[in-house]
Amino acid sequence: MDLKNITVKELRTKLDNKEISAAEAASEFFAEIKKNDGKVLSYITVTEDEAKKNAEAAQKRIDAGNPAPLTGIPLAIKDNLCTDGIRTTCSSKMLGDFVPPYNATAIEKLNEQDYVILGKVSMDEFAMGGSTQTSAFAKTKNPYDTERVPGGSSGGSAAAVAAGFCAAALGSDTGGSIRQPSSFCGVTGLKPTYGRVSRYGLVAFASSLDQIGPIARTAEDCGIILNAIAGVDPKDATSKNVSFSDFNEKLGQSVSGMKIAIPKEFYGDAVDEEVRTAVTNAAHEYEKMGAKLVDCSISTLKYAVQAYYLISSAEAASNLSRYDGIKYGLRGEGHSFDEMIRDSRNRGFGAEVKRRILLGNYALSSGYYDAYYRKALALKQKIIEEYNAVFENADVILTPTAPSVAYKIGVQDNDPVKMYTADICTVTVNIAGLPAINTTCGYDKDGMPIGMSIVGRRFDEATIIQTADAFERTFSPVRCTL
C-alpha cells in the first residue's frame, strides 16, 4: 500500500478499518526511507526497534476499539526535542552522543496516544539557520529539487513530510522555522501561539520566541496533532492555561464575511514577483468565497529582522552558555579548565552558532545593552501594538511566507545577512507571540512550491486552520516525486 501522500486523517481511517496494521504502516514508511532518503538526507536517527514496540502497543489499543487520533500514526520528530533513550543531537557535534533520560512534554503527550516514532530528523544546528545546511550530520535537500535547500531550521521535518517519509512531523519555530521550510517543501506547517504548547524538553534557542508545532499535508492534520500536544504544563512556566476543545471545530465553515487583512509592507519589492502574484491570487480566491480584503499597514516590518536577531541571539548566547563539555556535550582538551572549555566549544559549535553567540554577547555587553538589546525589546512592544490594531478590523492576516521559493544549495553560504533578511515575512509573528499557518498557494515557473501565511489572534488557532483549510479545498497540490 502506497502511503507516500496519505494524510493523518486518511491513515486513521485505514488503521481503524483494519485495512492496514500499525506495524505495516510503519514498515511502509521505513521502506520509503531506505529507498529514497539517501537523496534527501532528512533523518539523522532512524528508530526501527522503537517503532516496532510503539506499533505493537498501538495495535492492541486499536484492536480493543479505543484508539486516540494519533494511535499508530508514524511521525518524525525534529532533533531538538528530547526523546527518552533516543539520541537527540540538535544537529550539532556538541550533542552528537547525547541521549536524554526524559521526554519532552510534547513527546509525552504523543506517547499517551500511542503514536509511532520513525526517527529524529535533521535541522539547522541548534535551530540557527534557514536552510538546514548548518547541520553537522545531515544537510537536508529539498524533495522537489535536490539541488535546492528545504528551508530551516525544521527542514528535515518538512522534507520528510513532503517526500513521504512520515505521515507528519513535529518541528519548532523561533522566527519562521516551521512555516518557511513548509513553504519551500510544499506542505502545511503550523506555528501555535506562544505558550500554547509546552517547551519543556525542547532544547532552547531563544526562550521567548521558541514554539513547538506540527508539519503535515493539510491544515486539518495540523489541527489533529495540535489537539494532542497543546495544553498548560507545570514544568513550563511560560505555557498558558487557555482552554480549548478542538482546533478543527471550524473546519468546513464558510469564510464568507471574514475580514482578511493585507499589510502592504509584506508585498513590496523584497518579495519575488511570482510569490507576490501567487499570494495575491489566493487573496482573490478568498474574495470569491465571500471574504472581505482589508488593506492595512505594519510599519515596523522594516525593523523586524534587526530586532529579531538581537533578541534571539542574546537569548541564544545565554542558553548555550551551559555547553562547556563538562556536565555533558563534547569534551574538549587542554591543560587548564579554560582551555578545555574553549576547545569544547570551538570543536562542538559550527560557524553559524558561533556567529550568533558572538552577536548575542555583544548586544548584552556593557555599553551596548541599552543601545541595542533594550531598543529591540521596545520595538517588540511596538510590533505587538501594531498587530493588535490590525486585528481590531480583521479576523486574520494574509502574507507571503517567504520572499522567494527555495534557493539553490550554497547560494547564501557566504552571505549570512542575506539569509537573515529572508526571514522578513515570518519573524514578526514570533516577536508578537501570534499563531500562524503556512499552506501552499502556487508554484513558480520551475515547479517549486510557493507558500502563504495566515496569521491569527493569540490563541485563535481554530480560525487560521479554518481559513487555510478553506483554501486547501479549492487547491490541487502537486506532490513531489523522487
Cell 499597514 belongs to residue: 297
Q: Are the beta carbons of 462 and 250 closer than 8 angstroms?
A: yes
Kind of pairing between the strands at 396-400 and 259-263: parallel
Q: Are the beta carbons of 265 and 300 closer than 8 angstroms?
A: no
Amino acid in position 426: T
Question: What is the distance between the alpha carbons of residues 373 and 383, in angstroms, rounded to a whole number?
Answer: 15
Question: What is the distance between the alpha carbons of residues 38 and 42, in angstroms, rounded to a whole number?
Answer: 8
Q: Are the beta carbons of 297 and 264 closer than 8 angstroms?
A: yes
Task: At 141, list the grid cell.
Answer: 535537500
* Bridge partners, residue 286, by sequence: none
Per-residue DSSP letter, 82: -
Find how far residue 449's CA is from the centre of its chain. Answer: 17
User: Residue 177 catalytic?
Assistant: yes
Catalytic residue among 154, 177, 198, 453: 177
Q: Which of 339, 340, 311 is nearest to 325 (CA)?
A: 340
User: Residue 153 catalytic?
Assistant: yes
Q: Residue 336, class by beta-carbon neighbours within 10 Å (0-12 exposed, 13-18 middle, 19+ buried)?
A: exposed
Q: Where are the alpha helices (DSSP H) in 264-336?
A: 273-288, 301-319
Catalytic residue among 78, 120, 141, 250: 78
Cell 523522487 belongs to residue: 482
Cell 509592507 belongs to residue: 265
Question: What is the distance between the alpha carbons of residues 172 and 217, in angstroms, rounded to a whole number?
Answer: 17
Catalytic residue among 27, 92, 131, 153: 153
| Contacts of 351 by beta carbon, 8 Å cutoff, 6+ apart | 134
| Residues annotated as part of the active site | 78, 153, 177
